Structure 1
Amino acid sequence: MTPEISVVVPVHDEEGAAGPLAREIAEAFKGRNFEMVFVNDASKDNTLAELEALQAELPQLRVLSHAKNAGQSRAVRSGVMAARAPIIVTLDGDGQNPPADAPKLADALIAAPPEVALVGGVRANRQDTGSKRWASIWANGFRKWLLKDDADDTGCGLKAFRRDVFLRLPYFDHIHRYLPALVIREGYQNRFMNVDHRHRETGRSKYTNLGRLWAALSDMIGVMWLRSRARNPGQVNEV
């Protein structure tokens, strides 16, 4: 049976977090027609083995593995391309996004009219260092001002979106931070909901404030160019 929802989780060196996260997702969607697609982005630890060992316990779990490290956005894209459901839910692989919040985003999107393509999470109680929170507030405000994307927190990994719309978007590294702007460019709408946020219990962050800043500046210019070159035909009718 084709699943109603595909939960896509990118993971890189998340040994100790990936397994418990998969169990939490299974519990959150218990009784629903869903699948989990974990994408191992060339981890150097035992993340892949940890997930493979869970497949007998969790029949909804599918595991993809990149031969080379390609980053979070490419891992999400690999998972979405392999997903079988029309509704995609993404979570960060570090376990900081509580899976218990995921079904409400999926249900909000399912209940929304077709012109709504994305329901994004907004971390209402962010559990990160002060420097990360400050950098995020600055970056989100600057991006929202330039791109008019109506999003207060594009860095939240917990999102629900329509698979067919996502696959129409131009792909580039770090696209996951610009999904609301690109969804609007494609002629669709976004909605947002508050979600919880947890401390990281295992591993370490793959990003630094300086590294994010450099990527954000170049990406922002690229997305601004994409917006300037968009031409929306409105409704397309076959005659």
Structure 2
Amino acid sequence: MALIHEKISALLEDMNLSNRQAALKCGIPYGTFNSALKHEREIGWSTLDALARGLGVSFHYFSSETSGLELLPDIRADAAAVKAFEILNTRLQAAARTRQYSGCDVSLQDFLDWWFTNSGRLEGFDRLQHAVDMFNPPDAEQNRIQPIRSGPASLASICFEVSDSNQLRSTLNGFSDNVNADLVMAHSEAISRGEPVITHPSLDVKLLNGRRFTRQYRRVLAPVYLPDGKLLVVNFSQDIKTG
């Protein structure tokens, strides 16, 4: 079965929906949809968009190139161990799909694998770019970091409710001088080390919309290089807990 058909079938199974129920819920023709799944016929972008909207999942779930996690079985295992493996494997794949449904389909290991594979060069970045924010080297004199791109699924974009680098810059500028100094220091450390730096900072600030933002998160800051040699800093962050 083609990957896109596998993804749709897994999604409907996880949501306990039949093909007919999904078609009705998403406003798409049942006959065409059902036939496309059964016979692995082409499924157009408009149908995928209707599925994403109707079922409340990220469109990136359909467009990503991976179907989830998969364990390798131990060929020496007895029947009971094989059964336990199958159960664990099924649960891990379901958990991976759940992350993809919400658009959070990039893991810390994915990011680090990409960085080390490319030695910090900004290449082969398409699958990750929606989940990270990008910055010019920090301006130590003004005590500010310099966002140039806000990933639509990055932790900052979601939590600060921003959609572009200008909004992210305004939000960061609203933080105290001490918080901004810590951010500048963290970005500078990643540049000076020349490799990803993983930390677990806490943040307690008042946002521009008046809400209090309290969070502990895992942050990876990594230096990257454009083809022309220009240096940038990439931020990949994950939630740990919310207050």
Higher relative contact order (CA 8 A, sep 6+): 1
Bigger radius of gyration: 2
Task: Determine which structure has the larger helix proportion and give its number.
Answer: 2
TM-score, length-normalised on structure 1?
0.31
